[in-house]
Amino acid sequence: MATKFNQLGLIGCGLMGGSFALALKRAGMVRHVVGYSKSPSTVILAQKLGIVDQAAESALLAVSGADIVLIAVPVAATEATFRAIRNLVQAGTLFMDVGSTKVDVVDAARGVLKERLPFFVPAHPIAGKESAGIAHADAALYRGCQVILTPVAETEPRLVDRATEAWTAVGAQVRRMSPEAHDQAFAAVSHLPHLLAFAAFAAVARQSDGARFLELAGPGFRDFTRIAASDPAVWRDILLANRAQILGQAAIFKAQLGLLEVAMRDNRPEVLEALLRDAAQGRGQWQMFAARGTTPPPPASK
Amino acid sequence: MATKFNQLGLIGCGLMGGSFALALKRAGMVRHVVGYSKSPSTVILAQKLGIVDQAAESALLAVSGADIVLIAVPVAATEATFRAIRNLVQAGTLFMDVGSTKVDVVDAARGVLKERLPFFVPAHPIAGKESAGIAHADAALYRGCQVILTPVAETEPRLVDRATEAWTAVGAQVRRMSPEAHDQAFAAVSHLPHLLAFAAFAAVARQSDGARFLELAGPGFRDFTRIAASDPAVWRDILLANRAQILGQAAIFKAQLGLLEVAMRDNRPEVLEALLRDAAQGRGQWQMFAARGTTPPPPASK
């Protein structure tokens, strides 16, 4: 049975943070939520929606008295948030973020928090919706999704367990890996696909006949480019924060594309079909973790 | 009011052909369906499912007595089908195909059918399902989808009108364009996206850590790579048939990807965000034709 938290300090009242607060409340895992948002109207809305019980006037005040803190701000604002709250980062409180990149967040935490680094448990919930903002907060957002925790050598093991309890309580499956392994894997399966989708949509749209071409596009194009509608500011930050890994994955992708192009240019049906078949069979067998439904993998060992 | 057809000759009893036959019957547009499939068991199944009324032992026999013929075979088999039926390609019967590329089909028709070319109306219905085969035939497959007709100078205008009536009767919106314009547009919005999705999935899967990476992939990756599960033999033919256009589109894509990579490598957040914003806004505004629902565009003029 998971131990309850008394007070959640929520820094950043958007879709991710609001959904976490709502889900933690619904699970009976927290008594009180104190929220801070850079935009005062956002935190007022969060109160009206019953997601936040009390508005804080600063990030530091949101931390005061909390035994669990979620930093759910844009990745580029994480370091400034660490600076704002560092004097209250201390034993007895669990600090987490929700950023899509982890090496840069850990570097920022190490640089700013220094000897308080052990109280920060870096987290990346693999969740999201097309529509951002507190108004779309959803207690079921994390149900069935994966949350990656990337503790480092200094991280307090007891807080990693507490973090695991919190995310499990909101319905997520928790995995642990190093920040480096995280950023490498997500460069491959998330960051590069976003970069390619942005490039692919722009490549069509910017042609002189682009508008006419787009009128003819069907469901394949729709799904392939869906992630190209993602928030440009969020993705600017992710693509820069993890650029070494992403550029490395882009090189691997371009080599693979090159093999297909050569098979086309040289009119080699057998070579081309073998390459396509390899991809199609792999994709046909691949099942997304979330789609496995009732048979989640065993929890990762420490 | 559309004039009815008496007999449909269906060459190739798969998802596309079976769905057309079923939909045309349901619309009360045809009295009798004679079907031919290379595989005898397929045409027997088509009969059991009530899609085909009578099995033909050859493509030529399926054409005999028909006033509408649909060639719904793999693109690479189209030319052989023209050879098999050319002696019965004649005035009074509408001949159509369903191929995803059109210049190669028209070239094959011109080479094989010669002075009978006017009776062939090249067609490309923008429809499909994950699951192929006659067992998945669906009378609603073409409802709300687009069908592109690519008549050439010699094509009999009356037959283009008949083709338009047939596709309209099964619920499709009909557009007309030249074979060249068709292949250029679909290289951009369909063929290249498939090529990129095949390459992107293979690039991840073939890495030494690929299996581990794939365990972490979420809904964005799922949608981005969905079309990489497409039939390798079908896409081998499409990618080769339209390779000049597709390789041209690939070059445009790579230039666009290069702009993003340079902005990342040079750490230029403003440049990167402007490129991403351009794509994201365009993708946000883009609505697939089929999704427009009740407000289809006006029919294209001849």
Q: How big is chain B, counted in residues?
A: 302
Residue B92 DSSP code: T
**Are residues B36 and B153 located together in one domain of the fold?**
yes
Confidence of residue B40 (pLDDT cuts 50, 70, 90): very high
Instruction: Report the gap between the CA of A229 and the closest CA in chain B (Å).
Output: 4
Mean pLDDT of B22-26: 97
**Tokens representing residue B152 in the block:** 């050439």
CATH number of the domain at B269, please.
1.10.3660.10
Distance from CA of B31 to the nearest CA of A (A): 32
pLDDT at residue B26, rounded to an integer: 96
Q: Cα–chain-centroid distance for residue B85?
A: 22
Q: Tell me which H or E stretch contains A94.
A: strand A94-97
Q: Are residues A127 and A215 in the same domain?
A: no
Rounded CA separation A122/A120 (Å): 6
The answer to whether residues A30 and A70 belong to one domain is: yes
Residue B2 lies in a domain: no
- Burial (Cβ within 10 Å: 0-12, 13-18, ≥19) of residue B86: middle
The residue from A177, A211, A229 where one domain ends is: A177
pLDDT at site A289: 60
Q: Which residue has the tokens 């293979």?
A: B202
Asked if residue A102 and residue A83 are part of one domain, the reply reads: yes
Q: Tell how far CA B221 is from the center of its chain.
A: 24
In whole angstroms, give the CA distance from residue B191 to residue B75. Answer: 14
Q: How many C-beta atoms lie closer than 10 Å to residue A274's C-beta? A: 13
Q: Sort residue B150 into left (φ over 0), alpha (ψ -120 to 50) or beta.
A: beta
Measuring CA to CA, which residue among A197, A100, A230, A199 is closest to residue B275?
A: A199
pLDDT in tens, B72-129: 998 889 999 999 999 999 998 999 999 999 999 999 999 999 999 999 999 999 987 7
Q: How many residues does chain A have?
A: 302
Inter-chain residue contact B256 with A228, CB threshold 8 Å:
no
pLDDT of residue B294: 35
The answer to whether position A301 is within a domain reads no
State which residue of chain A sits closest to B296, comparing Cα positions.
Answer: A215
Asked if A88 and A116 count as a contact pair (C-beta separation under 8 A), the reply is no
- pLDDT reported for residue A123: 98
Q: Which residues pair with B125 in a beta bridge?
A: B147
* Contact (CB, 8 A) for A229 and B171: no
- What pLDDT, on a 0 to 100 scale, did the predictor assign at position B219? 87
One-letter amino acid for residue B45 of the chain: L
Rounded Cα–Cα distance for residues B136 and B292 (Å)? 26
How confident is residue B218, by pLDDT bands cut at 50, 70 and 90? confident
Indicate the residue among B152, B177, B202 that finishes a domain. Answer: B177
**How many C-beta atoms lie closer than 10 Å to residue B88's C-beta?**
19
d(C-alpha A235, C-alpha A227), whole Å: 10
Predicted pLDDT at B295? 37
Closest among B184, B160, B177 to B243, alpha carbons compared:
B184
By C-alpha distance, the chain A residue nearest B205 is: A282
Q: Which domain holds residue A229?
A: 182-286
pLDDT at A300: 38
Distance CA A161, CA B89 (A): 75
Tell me which chain B residue has its CA closest to the CA of residue A284: B229
Average pLDDT of the residues in B210-234: 94
Residue B22 shares a structural domain with residue B142: yes
* Same domain flag for A45 and A79: yes
Strand ranges, E, within A150-275: 173-176
Note the pLDDT of residue B2: 58
| One domain, residues A102 and A21 | yes
> Mean pLDDT of successive 10-residue segments in chain A (302 residues)?
85 96 97 96 96 97 98 93 96 95 97 98 87 90 95 97 97 97 98 98 97 92 95 94 97 98 98 98 82 39 36
Is residue B190 within 8 Å of residue A220, measured between CB atoms?
Answer: yes
Q: Which stretch of DSSP H or E encloses residue B96?
A: strand B94-97
In which order are the strands placed within the sheet that holds B120-121?
B54-55, B30-36, B5-11, B68-71, B94-97, B120-121
Q: Phi first, then psi: what are they for B11, rounded to 5°? A: -110, 110
Distance CA A216, CA A226 (A): 16
Q: Which residue of B has its CA nearest to A277?
A: B232
The span from the CA of A89 to the CA of A120, in Å, is: 8
Cα A206 from Cα B205, distance rounded (Å): 31
| Number of domains chain B is built from | 2
Least reliable range by pLDDT among B129-143, B167-181, B258-272? B129-143
- Within a domain: A123: yes
What percentage of chain B reaches a pLDDT higher than 90?
Answer: 88
Asked, for residue A296, whether it belongs to a domain, the answer is no
| Candidates A200, A210, A214; nearest CB to B196 | A200
Distance CA A38, CA A34 (A): 14
Evaluate whether residue B301 is within a structural domain.
Answer: no
Claim to verify: residue B233 and residue B246 sit in the same structural domain: yes
Cβ distance B199 to A260 less than 8 Å, yes or no, reads: yes
Q: What DSSP state is assigned to residue A276? A: H
The answer to whether residue A13 sits within a structural domain is yes
Chain A positions touching B291 (Cβ under 8 A) are 222
CB contact under 8 A, B200 and A193: yes
My answer on whether A32 and A156 are in the same domain is yes
User: What whole-number distance in Å separates Cα of residue A185 and Cα of residue B253?
Assistant: 24
Could you give the CA distance from residue B157 to residue B149 in angstroms, rounded to a whole number? 12
Q: What is the pLDDT of residues B113-152, one digit of tens each?
A: 999 999 999 999 998 776 788 999 999 999 999 999 999 9
Query: Using a CB-CB distance cutoff of 8 angstroms, which residues of chain A are in contact with residue B206?
Result: 256, 278
Q: Do A153 and A220 lie in a common domain? A: no
CB B9 within 8 A of CB B62: yes
Cross-chain Cβ contact B240/A265 below 8 Å:
no
Q: Are residues A127 and A18 in the same domain?
A: yes
Q: Which residue has the tokens 């499990």?
A: A168
Backbone angles phi, psi at A267, to 5 degrees: 55, 55
Of residues A189, A216, A214, the one with CA closest to residue A288: A189
B33 within some domain: yes
Query: B46 in helix, strand or coil?
Result: helix
pLDDT for res B127: 86
Asked if pLDDT for residue B300 goes beyond 60, the answer is no
Q: Which of left, alpha, beta for A284 (phi over 0: left; psi -120 to 50: alpha)?
A: alpha
Greatest Cα-to-Cα distance within chain B, rounded to the nearest angstrom: 69
- Tell me the pLDDT of chain B averaged across its residues: 93
pLDDT at B261 (0 to 100): 98
Contact list, B132 vs chain A (CB under 8 Å): none
Of B144, B177, B210, the one marking the end of a domain is: B177
Do B123 and B198 reside in the same domain of the chain? no
Residue B295 in domain: no
Q: Tell me which residue in A210, A235, A279 faces B228 most closely, judged by beta carbons.
A: A279
pTM confidence score: 0.88
Report the alpha-carbon angle A17-A19-A21, nearest 5: 70
CATH number at B146 reads 3.40.50.720
DSSP string for B98-145? --S--HHHHHHHHHHHGGGGGGEE-EEE----SS-SGGG--TTTTTT-
Percent helix, percent strand, percent coil in chain B, to nearest 5: 55, 10, 30
Residue B289 with chain A: CB contacts under 8 Å: 215-218
